[in-house]
Amino acid sequence: MSKYEIGAMPAQISGEVIALLEQAETATIGHWRLWGFCDRGIQPLLPNCRVAGTAITLAIPGPDSTLLHHATALLRPGDILIVDRLGDDRYACWGGGVTVAVKASGAKAGVVDGPCTDMEEIEESDFPIWCRGMAPITTRLYDLGGRLNMPISVGGVVVNPGDAVLCDDSGVLVLPPHEAEAEARLAVETQAKGLKLQDRLAQGEKLGEISGASGKVLAG
């Protein structure tokens, strides 16, 4: 049995759905959805970024990044590379070189369930990455094996190749492709209502009265 399991590149989410999803905020969807959100320890390295795309899934063991280097040549415009580090939190698999390679492919972002390195080069590349912080010890090409375009686990979430991924300042959300459009539309509608609510509050109305919370307290 091969130490590498490599699946076919998945169908990409349509550009229309991705554009709609990029208008949504993960925190808006978090008002009603309880699953699909990666652990909050996975945070953006660059501020004020919101990107959505198609998940390309990768799982690589602790000190090795052989399959990651190979995968950078397969990425397409619109993809987001999601990396399962199989529980490792010591070795940084993603640094300046990987960032440049992934950006050159046209991929939109990277998500790593572990640390990255080369912060200065990542900032210079202006490429969005979500990870668990920084580490100085890097992976090597040990040829230990791995999985590409197979189901993985990232931040407590099962990610399948071809899933829709939305990343912003609040975190990372993974959605099945057939649910992405409906969730995005509901989020955009909810955000529009939120702006109207903010206008009412700015004009002096009380949040507890609008939401009904004050009525509950006073009736208590």
Q: Please report the pLDDT score of residue 8 as a whole number.
A: 98
In angstroms, the CA 194 to CA 198 distance is 6
User: Do 106 and 75 touch, CB atoms closer than 8 A?
Assistant: yes
Q: Please report the pLDDT score of residue 208 as a whole number.
A: 86
In angstroms, the CA 137 to CA 85 distance is 14
In angstroms, the CA 148 to CA 83 distance is 9
Which residues share a beta bridge with 54?
Answer: 79, 164
pLDDT in tens, the chain (220 residues): 789 999 999 999 999 999 999 999 999 999 999 999 999 999 999 999 999 999 999 999 999 999 999 999 999 999 999 999 999 999 999 999 999 999 999 999 999 999 999 999 999 999 999 999 999 999 999 999 999 999 999 999 999 999 999 999 999 999 999 999 999 999 999 999 988 888 898 999 899 898 999 999 999 7
Q: Please report the pLDDT score of residue 146 as a whole number.
A: 98
Q: Which of 191, 163, 160 is nearest to 177 (CA)?
A: 163
User: Do 66 and 41 touch, CB atoms closer than 8 A?
Assistant: no
Q: Please report the pLDDT score of residue 201 as a whole number.
A: 87
In angstroms, the CA 79 to CA 52 distance is 9
What is the amino acid identity at position 44? P
